[in-house]
Amino acid sequence: MTQLVLYNVFNGLIIGAFYALMALGLSLILNLSGVINFAHGGFLAIGAYLAYALMPWVGFWGALLLAPVLAGLIGVAVERVLIRPLYGRDPLYSLLLTFGLAYIIEDGTRYIWGPQTLPFSVPAWLQTPLSSAFFFLTGYRLFMVLLVVAAVTGLFLILTRTRLGMRIRAGAQDLETVSVLGVNVRILRSLNFAIGIYLAGLAGVLAAGMLGLQPTIGSALIMPSFVAIIVGGLGSLPGTLLGGLLIGVASGLTGVFFPSASEAVIYAVMALVLLFRPRGLLGEEGRFL
């Protein structure tokens, strides 16, 4: 029993780490540009399928390195052409546009690679369990956790230690002032968008290694990322991280006792948070209320 609970908590943490990676990217874009990027799941799928396509040429490690970057570049192209005209307008429009993009990307991946689940092989030495007592602790799962930790650490280092990161954080507070101080807001938004999509692409490659590839891989992960952001508190990136891990573990634990409710439980968590702390766990007071 203990082992079962441990297994599910650990599994929940991994799922939560996915949610957090997705949600951090969504949050970055939302905070700076006010765009709810519904196509975020689509970009995750793009990252995953690009890795699949690149693997025969550059191997797993090359794909892991290249695919998220390429996804980020595609993201910037989309941002420049389609999303930029919508800045400053009612958020409804960017939401609808990215919603349409999500449809196109899902259908496009299905058209190119087919509707069936494709296998995504990770190096064999990563697949072996680390110990027989904790059979679930395969090297790949541990590796994913480490990689997510590294990515999140990297993100927070960029945000707190570099000039770009400080501008992004300042822009999230007051974009107009940042612009007046001589920062090129257009480029700032593009770079910020690229970072967000990079994270989605990375999550995609990792998810592909665990779940295999499916055209719906992105749309299955987008809703929990929204929940993660709301639970953590809009405007707070550490909150988003916390929210993602929390709902991941909640979902994993529910899976032990009442498997059919493992998806619905995260919405119950969200309802509780909104009831007792409407601004979210780490959200700033008065910003969105």
Partner 1 sequence: MTVAGRRAIDVLVWALLLTMPWWIPYLGGYTALGSRVVVMALAAMSLNFLLGFTGVLSFGQAAYFGLGAYGAGLTIKYLVPSTPLGMLVGVLAGTLASAIIGALIVRLRGVYFAMATIAFGQVFYFIAYRWNAVTGGDDGLSGWRRVPIDLGVTKVDILGNDLAFYFMVLVCFAVAVAVMAALLRSPFGRSLVAIRENERRAGFLGIPVDFHIWLSFVLSGLFASLAGTLYALLNNFADPHDLHWSQSGEFVIMAVLGGMRSFWGPLLGAGIFVLLEDYVSTRTENWMSFIGLFFVLVVLFFPRGLLGLIRRRAAR
Q: Which parts of this chain interact with partner 1 (CB under 8 A)?
A: 30, 34, 36, 38, 82, 85-86, 89-93, 95-97, 99-104, 106-108, 111, 223, 226-227, 229-230, 234, 260-261, 263-264, 267, 270-271, 274-275, 278, 288-289
CB of 99 to partner 1, least distance (A): 5
Q: Tell me whether residue 101 or residue 207 sits nearer to partner 1 (CB atom).
A: 101
**Residue 195 is which amino acid?**
I
Residue 262: CB minimum distance to partner 1, A: 9
Nearer CB in complex with partner 1: 35/63: 35
> Measured in whole angstroms, how far is the alpha carbon of residue 278 from the centre of its chain?
23
Dihedral (CA of 195, 231, 87, 286) sign: negative
- How far apart CA 74 and CA 221 sit, in angstroms, is 20
Residue with Cβ nearer partner 1 (78 or 206): 78
> What distance, in Å, lies between the first and last C-alpha atoms of the chain?
43
Give the distance from CA 157 to its chain's centroid.
Answer: 18
- Identity of the residue, 41 or 201, whose beta carbon is nearer to partner 1 in the bound complex: 41
Minimum Å gap between C-beta 176 and partner 1 is: 17
Give the whole-angstrom CA distance, residue 213 versus residue 46: 11
Which is closer to partner 1, CB of 134 or CB of 288?
288
Write down the least CB distance from residue 53 to partner 1, Å. Answer: 20
> Considering the complex, what minimum distance in angstroms separates the CB of residue 228 from partner 1?
10
Which residues fall within 8 angstroms of residue 198, CB to CB, at 6 or more apart? 25, 68, 69, 71, 72, 75
